[in-house]
Structure 1
Amino acid sequence: MSSKLFQELKIGSMTMKNAAFMAPMSLGYESQDGTVNEVLQEYWEARAKGGVGCIITDALSVDPNVPYLGNTLCFRSEESIESYRTFTDRIHKYGTKIIPQITHPGPESISAFMGIPPKASSTYINSMGQKTRELKKEELPAIIEQYAKTSYDAKRAGFDGIELHCAHAYMLLGSFLSPMRNKRTDEYGGSLDNRARLLFQVLDAIKEKCGRDFPVILRMSGSERNSQGNTLQDMLYLVPMLEKHGVDAFEISGGTQYEQCNKIIPCHGEVRGVNVPEAEAIKNVAKVPVIVVGKINEPSYAEYLVDSGKVDGVVIGRALLADPEFVGKAERGETDAIAPCTACVIGCVGEQSNRRHASCVINPALGREKEFCFTKSDTPKKTAVVGGGIGGMAAARAFAMCGHDVTLFEKEEQLGGQMRLACIPPHKQEISRWIIYLEKELEKLPVDIRLGAKADAEMLKVAGYEVIVAATGAEPSLPPVKGIDKEKAVNAWQVLTEEVPVLGGNVLVVGGGIVGCETCEFLVHQARGPLHVTMIEMADAIGAGMVVNNQVPMMKRLAQMGIEMKTGCRLLEVKENAAIVECRGQVTELNSLTHIIYACGSRPVNKLYEEIKDKFSKVYCIGDAATPRQALEAVREAYEAAMDCR
């Protein structure tokens, strides 16, 4: 019997073909004029074509002059409304519904960079470290009207309803609802009823303008998970009143944006379905559908949530970035073919933190749907991929899908490369899904996989390969420090693979980057006796390069474990059972060390590439073999090489 996930779901007057929603996610693709550009259209159309029941677009500001964190969707004119209608018609071709997430960015607006203090319920420091301005009571009617007008414009533009953002103590309505932000002393502050007053008035205005049958979904935090914030009991109290004011469905998120970003976008170490308990409790009192968001990245789990009656529908975010056909493949039972989201947030959140458009480790076609299309090459070429890490596996798959004759050489007896290392530390096991997926994909394709096979320049030439992809990876490096015995020095890779067991003692970890942090956590996890770990890092911060959603919980765990962390600290010399370090100008000697573990980065293994780069018609060097980086670059470069060779 088909799962209820794939059966129709009715929200107000909107009937969806299934109960799977696409979550609103800001990825940096937005146009400056607030319209939906071709990149956004291709991105959303791919998910509609992939089978999702309803797309919730990213934030659409009710005030074109109050942008969110960058370029922001909005309705600026009749012409823009007409352009949106063309877009919604394009999505509707696939039987998919589409609604915008309506919001007034309020305290989260970048207006401060324009010299205008961001508006909020009260005066406080926002997520960007800027001081907000408390809205005057007489300013609220105009804002309420903006919400109503924008919702009506959405209706005219062909949207099937709207989602109203009121979660995470974030943006305008969230800041009014949460006692963490709202410190007002008028009828919009103090009690929960007063804090919800603006929300009620906005709902009333929308329904009056758009009609009672125009669907409104409310996104709210089932709990703000903070002793100062709204609780589940607060939300249960509000649900009946919100329904009376016209809410047609509740989308349950959780946490707060400033304090718990890892709860809003749950990553490594966070349980799947993080908001399910609150959603289930709200469903027990609600008369309208309840849907839930938060690390729902496996189809079997999504089906379970709906079939068990815990919720009426699921909101899928990053899993639809990893594979736009997630829903369609799940409905057809093709679960092995779903490119898995492992909650790494390296591409979808990390790239935006670095002011680049969002991407995805396992799906570099995200935001490049038109560009990365696996069409068959008119001139198939005999291709060798040397190295079976994630970059090499992705390259072999991409070249084979483009019709090339591909052989994959891997010197070890198994594929995966450094990804197998990345799976070992605590909370990182999800990453193994990338390897499993790519192995299964390669099994379906005519790729000749040779394990335990080293490839050299002569062999490749004799065999007649036309295209070579060097994906030979990297190896650990040691710092140029007096006293280090290169033959005996222990690196983090050796510890993680337990080639060198470290089960206790007084341990110094040199390097406080991602690998150093994960090694410390691994040491504590594996300890069989007394253990003290000191980690030193030359930079001013531990975990540099980590996405904040993973860095925040990692730092909390390391502190709870008692890891002694020293920043601005440089290793000067290594002695037997001791190390001399300089920490912020002060030289000290760390004595009685039982182990020194080096997590000091890596260096490329590119000897083969240097030998062959001028000897074949096409030679590509990708991933760490070019320069040590993250898997994101390796897989993207694999795709780019395949596209270049079509």
Structure 2
Amino acid sequence: MENTQQRETFGTMLSPIRAGRRTLRNRVIMGSMHTRLETEPDSIAKQIAFYAERARGEAAILVTGGFSPNAEGIFDPKGPRIDDPDQARHLRPICEAVQAEGSLICAQLLHAGRYAKIEGCVAPSPIRSPINRFVPREMTDADIRRTIADFASAAANAQAAGFDGVEIMGSEGYLINEFTVTHTNKREDGWGGNAENRHRFPVEIVRAVRERCGPGFLIIYRISAADLVEGGAHSDEIAALARKIEAAGADILNTGIGWHESRVPTIAYPVPRGAWRKAAANVKAAVSIPVVASNRINTPELAEDILTSGDADMISMARPFLADPHFVKKAREGRANEINTCIACNQACLDFIFSSRPVSCLVNPRAGRETEFRDTPTESPSKLAVVGGGAAGMATAAEAARLGHDVTLFEAQDKLGGQLNLARAAPGKDEFDETLRYYTGQINKHGVKLRLGQRAGLDDLNGFDHVVIATGVTPRIPDLPGADHPSVATYAEILSGERAAGDTVLVMGAGGIGHDVAEFLVTGPAEAHNPDAFCETWGVDPKFAVSGALVGDPLALKPSRRKVVMLQRKNSKPGAGLGVSTGWILRNALRKHGVEALVGVVYERIDDAGLHILMDNGEPKVIAADTIVLCTGQEPEQALVDELVARSVTVTMIGGAKEAAELDALRAIDEGVRLAQSL
């Protein structure tokens, strides 16, 4: 009965839909992602494994990462291209593998324009992007016409390689999007000026692709539904462009949100789920072809709600298919509670891509590494004890039990989660609740014996073949006079709610934990969950009607409920080690809330007067505070290790117990799963 009810719950999402001359098996697209798998050794094999796994998970259409239609459009010097027919044909095995599993596959055609990190990048006008050091060359009329032809040729190459269609990238601030708005198009010829001229480039691209590839070839156009930059498009212009693209031959309109240079976050955890659905609804109201909603949609419940409300006809999810390639299949089979949910952390997807590494996923280390893991049960089960129920311990126990080992998990607290229970307190990071739900469910499903509220002793670990120490970390208390003063609290005490902070707070330490604590102290909970509150904070028009969908300065100050000052001993910029794709959001959010930062300080002592420091110029200073929060590092919790080794017990330390870094769930889960695979 439960499975039937769940299938009925997602009836719209799982229902077929007609797009062009194709009938899709459901309404879910795996959106395009840069993976860098094409730069890896055995790249075709790795891409086959990656895409085929998601086709087995029953996504209706899989869209590849972006292929440039010519040499000028590559995102970086190693960026993939599809302008060579012979190179394109090498992709045929990927298409065949996906199609054998019942899904369609489309190649995304992406010309990076002024975002291309190469000499000689091009744009409608010679205006440098703030996120690229190269100044683009203004395209001539001949350049523009050649590029239109290049898009058509690239689509034909994709068709010859076996792709079912293409997605033409017309959003996120790439070349096509640059032509459509005055923010980047200052031309006065037939390709600039009024909206009709600015829309000419994308319309002619779509028309050329349709003429070259024929009526049966699927064309998705990704339209910018909210530019989130000054000089961006008004909703009336977006609707007009959508109608022109439909008339030119597109079968589906996918919606993109925000330019890469926008100062408004669009896909990271601080953005509420479903925050952009009304932008898709604006596009849907303008056309009759299917319109796709995207960005911060990570559960089947939300996808179904967007579809049944009429805000969109289809749903595009990219990172959720990294977290769980079988997202749709599990929903269809009534196992939605077993979906490993994307938490929008960006740590192993976007941050890896920006550091020239192949994509993966914090909650699913297999993503992008499918050829490195096995699913066959072990032929020699062992009796395994896992000590510690945080991220590393849960991942080890769940994976080892799934592979057939006899696993007992000891956790000193009365609940699983460990440091995740602290991390989830930061605004937006309660997405970690999904990770806790998933791993708890897997632990129960695969028969792990749980010993909650039991701190494992030596006698408890007798008789096990292998003991895994995953006991995590404890906050490090600095050797500082007055560190035990009543005003002092650890980050763990603050984030857990054990201690309440006063109105004036000093945060000692400006790393990842320090930033999370500061945001926890100044941000209202509603901002992480309510789209209207989010829009108000970041200056976004909740109706997505005005130019660029901006109604204010995204960096305008917003009064805080507390006065918070962060301090660090280093002279470097606070938060220098934060994630590439999320650090700027966190730094800007704290700046908006008036959080100050002092760097290069020397801590001297704490007493009733406050925190005594030396400034970087040697000047002594006393800062009064109601609460002083220690974010001064962690110590590994390694109790039992020496005694177990002395008894010749096979012991492995993982996660924070092995290395006390920041709260590093990415490393913890990866080590846990890989250890279980190696047993």
State the match for 1:633 in structure 2: 667
Residues 18 and 52 in structure 1, CA contact (< 8 A), matched pair in contact too: yes
2: CA distance between counterparts of 1:250 and 1:489? 55
State the match for 1:393 in structure 2: 394
Deviations along 1:58-85, one digit per CA (max 9) or x if unpaired, are 1011115653235333336444333222
State the match for 2:116 in structure 1: 109
State the match for 2:171 in structure 1: 167
2: CA distance between counterparts of 1:520 and 1:584? 22
Pairing partner for 1:569 from 586, 601, 605: 601
State the match for 1:590 in structure 2: 622
2: CA distance between counterparts of 1:12 and 1:530? 53
User: 1:231 deviation in Å?
Assistant: 2.2
2: CA distance between counterparts of 1:560 and 1:488? 26
SS at match of 1:376: coil
Matched, 1:195 2:203: no
Deviations along 1:22-65, one digit per CA (max 9) or x if unpaired, are 010112222379x9521111111100011110001010111156
SS at match of 1:490: strand
Residues 424 and 432 in structure 2, CA contact (< 8 A), matched pair in contact too: yes
1: CA distance between counterparts of 2:186 and 2:400? 59
Pairing partner for 1:83 from 90, 95, 98: 90
Deviations along 1:360-416, one digit per CA (max 9) or x if unpaired, are 121111112132223211111110000011110111011111111111011111111
2: CA distance between counterparts of 1:550 and 1:48? 30
Structure 1 vs Structure 2 CA RMSD:
2.3
Change in CA separation of 1:69 and 1:484 when aligned onto 2, cut-off 3 Å? same
User: 1:613 deviation in Å?
Assistant: 4.1
2: CA distance between counterparts of 1:530 and 1:416? 29
Matched, 1:336 2:337: yes
1: CA distance between counterparts of 2:427 and 2:70? 45
Moved more, 609-618 or 24-33: 609-618
Pairing partner for 2:19 from 11, 19, 32: 11
Matched, 1:139 2:137: no
Report the residue type matching 2:106 in the other structure: I
2: CA distance between counterparts of 1:476 and 1:250? 50
SS at match of 1:340: coil
1: CA distance between counterparts of 2:493 and 2:413? 16
1: CA distance between counterparts of 2:601 and 2:194? 50
Change in CA separation of 1:192 and 1:413 when aligned onto 2, cut-off 3 Å? same
Change in CA separation of 1:184 and 1:358 when aligned onto 2, cut-off 3 Å? same
User: 1:459 deviation in Å?
Assistant: 3.7
Residues 169 and 180 in structure 1, CA contact (< 8 A), matched pair in contact too: no
Residues 225 and 231 in structure 1, CA contact (< 8 A), matched pair in contact too: no
SS at match of 2:18: strand
SS at match of 1:4: coil
Change in CA separation of 1:179 and 1:387 when aligned onto 2, cut-off 3 Å? same
SS at match of 1:6: coil
Residues 103 and 147 in structure 1, CA contact (< 8 A), matched pair in contact too: no
State the match for 1:467 in structure 2: 466
State the match for 2:63 in structure 1: 56
Change in CA separation of 1:77 and 1:501 when aligned onto 2, cut-off 3 Å? closer
Residues 221 and 252 in structure 1, CA contact (< 8 A), matched pair in contact too: yes
Change in CA separation of 1:372 and 1:416 when aligned onto 2, cut-off 3 Å? same
Change in CA separation of 1:333 and 1:459 when aligned onto 2, cut-off 3 Å? closer
Residues 408 and 451 in structure 2, CA contact (< 8 A), matched pair in contact too: yes
Residues 466 and 616 in structure 1, CA contact (< 8 A), matched pair in contact too: no
Moved more, 549-558 or 492-501: 549-558
Pairing partner for 2:563 from 532, 535, 538: 532
Change in CA separation of 1:447 and 1:543 when aligned onto 2, cut-off 3 Å? same
SS at match of 1:128: coil
State the match for 2:441 in structure 1: 440
How many residues are matched? 633
State the match for 1:40 in structure 2: 47
1: CA distance between counterparts of 2:646 and 2:78? 44
Q: Percent identity?
A: 28
User: 1:86 deviation in Å?
Assistant: 2.3
1: CA distance between counterparts of 2:634 and 2:354? 24
Change in CA separation of 1:72 and 1:437 when aligned onto 2, cut-off 3 Å? same
State the match for 1:179 in structure 2: 182
2: CA distance between counterparts of 1:337 and 1:585? 56
User: 1:458 deviation in Å?
Assistant: 4.5
SS at match of 1:110: coil
User: 1:483 deviation in Å?
Assistant: 4.5
SS at match of 2:90: helix
1:32-431 equivalent positions in 2, closer than 5 A: 37-64=44-71, 66-69=73-76, 71-75=78-82, 77-111=84-118, 116-126=119-129, 127-170=131-174, 172-260=175-263, 262-263=265-266, 266-431=267-432
Change in CA separation of 1:487 and 1:620 when aligned onto 2, cut-off 3 Å? farther
Residues 485 and 607 in structure 2, CA contact (< 8 A), matched pair in contact too: no
TM-score, reference length from structure 2: 0.89
2: CA distance between counterparts of 1:526 and 1:484? 29
1: CA distance between counterparts of 2:98 and 2:242? 32
2: CA distance between counterparts of 1:301 and 1:389? 28
SS at match of 1:101: strand
User: 1:20 deviation in Å?
Assistant: 0.6
2: CA distance between counterparts of 1:549 and 1:612? 42
Change in CA separation of 1:613 and 1:361 when aligned onto 2, cut-off 3 Å? farther
Report the residue type matching 1:206 in the other structure: V
Moved more, 546-555 or 370-379: 546-555
Report the residue type matching 2:334 in the other structure: G
Change in CA separation of 1:573 and 1:94 when aligned onto 2, cut-off 3 Å? same
Moved more, 622-631 or 67-76: 67-76
Residues 471 and 625 in structure 1, CA contact (< 8 A), matched pair in contact too: yes
Residues 506 and 564 in structure 2, CA contact (< 8 A), matched pair in contact too: yes
Change in CA separation of 1:84 and 1:27 when aligned onto 2, cut-off 3 Å? closer
Pairing partner for 2:520 from 505, 519, 522: 522
Residues 124 and 184 in structure 2, CA contact (< 8 A), matched pair in contact too: yes
Residues 30 and 71 in structure 1, CA contact (< 8 A), matched pair in contact too: no
Change in CA separation of 1:639 and 1:185 when aligned onto 2, cut-off 3 Å? same
User: 1:530 deviation in Å?
Assistant: 7.6
Deviations along 1:284-339, one digit per CA (max 9) or x if unpaired, are 12021111111110001112222232211100111111000001001111111111
Change in CA separation of 1:278 and 1:190 when aligned onto 2, cut-off 3 Å? same
Deviations along 1:487-529, one digit per CA (max 9) or x if unpaired, are 984211111222222232x3211111222122222223589x9
Residues 514 and 544 in structure 1, CA contact (< 8 A), matched pair in contact too: no
User: 1:247 deviation in Å?
Assistant: 1.9
Residues 372 and 639 in structure 1, CA contact (< 8 A), matched pair in contact too: no
Change in CA separation of 1:174 and 1:583 when aligned onto 2, cut-off 3 Å? farther
Change in CA separation of 1:535 and 1:366 when aligned onto 2, cut-off 3 Å? same
Q: List structure 1 runs of 4+ shifted beyond 6 angstroms.
A: none
Higher relative contact order (CA 8 A, sep 6+): 2
State the match for 2:510 in structure 1: 512
State the match for 1:602 in structure 2: 634
Residues 34 and 353 in structure 2, CA contact (< 8 A), matched pair in contact too: no
Moved more, 341-350 or 539-548: 539-548
2: CA distance between counterparts of 1:231 and 1:238? 11
Change in CA separation of 1:132 and 1:361 when aligned onto 2, cut-off 3 Å? same
Change in CA separation of 1:617 and 1:121 when aligned onto 2, cut-off 3 Å? farther
Residues 28 and 70 in structure 1, CA contact (< 8 A), matched pair in contact too: no
SS at match of 2:629: strand
**Mind listing any 5+ residue stretches in structure 1 that lack a counterpart?**
none
Deviations along 1:606-638, one digit per CA (max 9) or x if unpaired, are 232343346446422111011124101001001
